[in-house]
Amino acid sequence: MLSIKNLYANVGDKPILKGITLQVKAGEVHAIMGPNGSGKSTLANVLAGRDDYRVTAGEITFNGKDLLPLAPEVRACEGIFLAFQYPVEIPGVSNVNMLKASVNAIRRYRGDKELDAIDFLALIKDKARTVEMKQEFLYRSVNEGFSGGEKKRNEILQMAMLEPRLGILDETDSGLDIDALRVVAGGVNALRNPDRAFVLVTHYQRLLDYIQPDFVHVLADGRIIRSGDKSLALELEDKGYGWIEQERSVEARI
């Protein structure tokens, strides 16, 4: 589904990603872990097509299509969803209105009929229940005045509404209490199916207790330095990131 080959990317003038290669197949869940500043969030933003993130080398294909020339909205229509680490507040734009525009943009792109207001409302109310979000939040401005947990919940609601093929969660678990974490994980697990894949960018192993990953990758200094299964995450938790870095420098010397 997603194929990243030898990807280099800059933020501004600063090189952050230094040769990433990653294959994600439909139905898989990949966790990308790593210390702060290793490039995890950059990778997530590059996939979603953020302006200031410039790819300097390498390629990304998504279902066989070259992703790099596509505008962010086209990527979204293709089925890429990014749950933001810091969801932006947009005063004056209600959640409902934004999502209606989004859902229908995607439906148009896929050649489906647009939803009318009644069907749309029924759908969003249903999804809101699954993420335990109060209805009043739907009519409030996007993320405005939301607590940290509410913002993350809102991201999961949007993901549920847009039914992406690839969900990228950028540190969605950071700063969440256990209840909110449970809701976020529940939202992801409910969406798991053989046609859909997830990339979970996270700093902590905790999230992976709730969402079982198929693969775990460790990112450091813009490169994937280790890949493995769930046990790698547990090992990391046990020994800390320093362990990997040390091992790597030992390898480097050899």
Partner 1 sequence: MSSPALDSLLAAQPNWIAGDGSDLAARRSAGLEQLRLQGLPTLRDEDWRYTSLKILEKQRLQPIHQSDVVSNETLESTFLSDLSGPRLVFVDGCLVPELSATQNLPDGVRIGELTDTVTADVSLCAALGSCLPAQGHGFIPLNEAYLGKGACIHIGRNVHLEQPVQLYYINSGTVAGAAVLPRNLLVLEEGAEAVVLERYIGLGDAVSFTDVQTEVCLGANAGLQHYLLQEETQAAFHIGGLYVRQYQDSRLVSHVIHLGGRLVRRDLDVRLCGTGATCELNGLYVGTGRQHIDNHTVVHHEQPQGTSKQLYKGMLDDRSRAVFHGRVVVSEGASKTDAQQNNRNLLLSKFAEVDSKPQLEIYNDDVKCSHGAAVGQLDTDALFYLRSRAIDKALARRILTVAFAREVVEKIPLPALRKHITEQLESSLLRGLH
- Which of 34, 87, 167, 213 touches partner 1 by CB under 8 A? 87
Ramachandran area for residue 238 (φ above 0: left; ψ -120 to 50: alpha; else beta) = alpha
Candidate segments 95-103, 123-131, 175-183, 216-224, binder of partner 1 by CB under 8 A? 95-103
| 89: its two tokens | 């507040």
- Which of 19, 37, 91, 145 touches partner 1 by CB under 8 A? 91
Site for partner 1 in 43-82 (CB under 8 A): 48-51, 71-73, 75-77, 81-82
Residue 75 or 232: which CB sits closer to partner 1?
75
Q: Is the dihedral of CA 93, 94, 95, 97 positive or negative?
A: negative
Q: Which residues pair with 57 in a beta bridge?
A: 8
Residue 55 or 93: which CB sits closer to partner 1?
93
Amino acid at 146: F
- Which of 19, 57, 63, 90 touches partner 1 by CB under 8 A? 90
Helices (H), 16-112: 40-48, 72-78, 95-110
- Which of 26, 68, 93, 234 touches partner 1 by CB under 8 A? 93
- Contact call for residue 158 and partner 1 (CB under 8 A): yes
CA distance 254 to 251: 5
Residue 43: which of 166, 223, 188 has the closest Cα? 223
Binding site for partner 1 (CB under 8 A): 48-51, 71-73, 75-77, 81-82, 84, 87-88, 90-93, 97-99, 101-102, 105-106, 109, 141-142, 158, 162
